[in-house]
C-alpha cells in the first residue's frame, strides 16, 4: 500500500458521535454467525454509554483512548468499565469488570485538539479483573502492517445495534498517512474502539481500530491508528505503569505475534 498523499480535512468527529453511510452491515444474532468473533465485545461505561473493544490476550482488551475520557476531560475511573465479550441478545459469553484502564500517553497530551493529530495514538488497554479462559472466546493477534491489507472486516456495536455485534467484511484501506489508517469502513455511535481486521489464511488479525470520521476530498471516511509503532509504545507504557501485582509480570505482546489462542475462521 502506497502512503496517501492527499490531505485529510480537519473536519473530524469521534466515531462515538458521527454516523457513516451504511455499507452492508450484517447483524450476528446467532451463535453460528458469531463463531470466531466472540472476542469482540461491548465496553460498557457504568451505564452511561458504551464503546467496542477486542480481547487481545486473556486479560487485555484493546479499545479507543477517547473512550476513557469523560465529558469534562478527566479520565474515567477503571471500575466504571465493564467488558461483555460476545454479547448478543442480552447474553455475553463472558462478563468482566475492569481493574485498570490505560490510554496511550501521547493521546493524553493531545486529547481535546480538534484535528487528526491525536488519532495515531487513540489506543487504550483495559486490564480485566479476571482472565477470560474459555474455548468460546479467543483473543485476536495484532498486526503491525495495516498498509498491506487490501480487504478489511470490522465487528462493532453501535447505536440501534447495541445488543448484538455487526460485521462488515467488504471495506478496505484507502491509504496510510502520518500514522493514520484511512478506510471506507462503516462507523456509528458506539463503534469507537471497534477492531478492524485483516483475515489472512483464516486468521483474523487486528490492524487498526475505529477512531473517528473525517472527510477525504469531500467523501466521508473512517480513520484509526496504524498499530505499527503506537501499539508497542502503548504496551511499554502499560507495563511500566503497572502496579506490582502478585504472581509475576505480564508478557508483552508485539505486532505480528501469533499464539495458539488466535481466533481462526473456517469458511462455510
**How confident is the model over 93-138, as pLDDT tens digits?**
999 999 999 999 999 777 655 567 899 999 999 999 999 999 999 9
Q: Is residue 5 part of a domain?
A: no
Sign of the torsion angle spanned by Cα atoms 49, 55, 57, 58: positive
Q: Dig out the grid coordinates for 112 from the structure.
A: 481535546
Q: Is residue 264 part of a domain?
A: no
Q: Is residue 186 part of a domain?
A: yes
Round to whole Å and give the CA distance between 223 and 236.
24
Percent of the chain surpassing pLDDT 70: 79
Q: Which pLDDT does position 112 carry in this prediction?
A: 58
Q: Which pLDDT does position 268 carry in this prediction?
A: 23
The pTM assigned to this predicted structure is: 0.83
3-state secondary structure of 191: coil
Query: Looking at residues 10-29, what average pLDDT do you find?
Result: 53
246 vs 231: which has the higher pLDDT: 231
Range from 20-34, 79-93, 149-163, 231-245 carrying the lowest mean pLDDT: 20-34
Neighbours of 92 (CB within 10 A): 17
Percent of the chain surpassing pLDDT 90: 45
Q: Is residue 129 part of a domain?
A: yes
Q: Is residue 262 part of a domain?
A: no
Q: Is 76 exposed, middle or buried (0-12, 13-18, 19+ CB in 10 A)?
A: middle
Round to whole Å and give the CA distance between 140 and 261.
7
Neighbours of 164 (CB within 10 A): 18
Query: Looking at residues 133-156, what average pLDDT do you find?
Result: 86
Query: Looking at residues 214-243, what average pLDDT do you find?
Result: 88
Q: Which pLDDT does position 216 carry in this prediction?
A: 79
238 vs 150: which has the higher pLDDT: 238
Query: Looking at residues 5-12, what average pLDDT do you find?
Result: 46
Q: Is residue 151 part of a domain?
A: yes
Query: Looking at residues 156-166, what average pLDDT do you find?
Result: 85
Phi-psi region of 247 (alpha: psi -120 to 50; beta: other; left: phi over 0): left
Mean pLDDT score of the chain: 80
Round to whole Å and give the CA distance between 82 and 96.
6
Query: Where in the sequence is the domain holding 20, given as residue range(s)?
Result: 12-240
Range from 68-72, 108-112, 120-124, 160-164 carrying the lowest mean pLDDT: 108-112
| Polymer length in residues for the chain | 268
With 70 as the cut, is the pLDDT of residue 186 above it?
yes
Q: Is residue 98 part of a domain?
A: yes
Sheet with strand 203-209: strands edge to edge: 26-27, 161-171, 152-158, 195-200, 203-209
Q: How many domains does the chain have?
A: 1
Q: Which pLDDT does position 111 carry in this prediction?
A: 64
Round to whole Å and give the CA distance between 230 and 226.
7
Query: Which DSSP letter does residue 254 get?
Result: -
Q: Which pLDDT does position 144 carry in this prediction?
A: 75
209 vs 189: which has the higher pLDDT: 209
Decide if 144 contacts 181 (C-beta within 8 A).
no
| Residue 78: CATH number of its domain | 2.40.10.10
Q: Is residue 59 part of a domain?
A: yes
Amino acid at each position: 500500500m502506497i502512503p496517501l498523499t492527499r490531505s485529510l480535512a480537519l473536519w473530524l468527529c469521534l466515531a462515538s458521535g458521527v454516523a457513516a453511510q451504511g455499507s452492508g452491515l450484517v447483524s450476528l444474532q446467532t451463535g453460528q454467525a458469531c463463531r470466531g468473533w466472540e472476542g469482540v465485545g461491548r465496553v460498557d461505561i457504568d451505564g452511561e454509554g458504551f464503546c467496542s473493544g477486542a480481547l487481545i490476550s486473556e486479560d487485555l482488551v484493546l479499545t479507543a483512548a477517547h473512550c476513557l475520557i469523560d465529558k469534562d476531560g478527566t479520565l474515567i475511573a477503571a471500575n466504571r468499565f465493564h467488558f461483555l465479550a460476545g454479547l448478543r441478545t442480552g447474553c455475553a459469553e463472558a462478563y468482566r469488570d475492569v481493574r485498570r484502564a490505560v490510554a496511550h500517553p501521547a493521546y493524553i497530551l493531545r486529547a481535546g485538539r480538534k484535528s487528526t493529530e491525536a488519532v495515531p495514538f487513540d489506543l487504550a488497554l483495559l486490564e480485566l479483573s479476571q482472565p477470560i479462559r474459555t474455548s468460546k472466546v479467543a483473543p485476536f493477534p495484532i498486526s503491525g502492517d495495516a498498509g498491506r491489507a487490501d480487504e478489511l472486516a470490522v465487528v462493532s456495536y453501535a447505536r440501534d445495534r447495541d445488543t448484538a455485534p455487526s460485521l462488515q467484511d467488504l471495506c478496505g484501506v484507502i491509504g496510510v498517512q502520518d500514522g493514520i489508517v484511512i478506510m471506507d469502513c462503516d462507523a456509528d455511535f458506539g463503534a469507537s474502539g471497534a477492531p478492524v481486521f485483516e483475515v489472512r489464511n483464516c486468521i483474523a488479525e487486528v490492524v487498526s481500530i475505529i477512531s473517528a470520521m473525517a472527510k477525504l476530498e469531500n467523501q466521508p471516511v473512517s480513520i484509526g491508528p496504524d498499530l505499527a509503532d503506537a501499539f508497542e509504545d502503548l504496551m511499554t507504557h502499560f507495563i511500566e505503569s503497572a502496579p506490582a501485582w502478585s504472581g509475576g509480570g505480564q508478557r508483552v505482546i508485539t505486532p505480528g505475534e501469533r499464539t495458539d489462542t488466535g481466533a481462526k475462521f473456517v469458511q462455510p
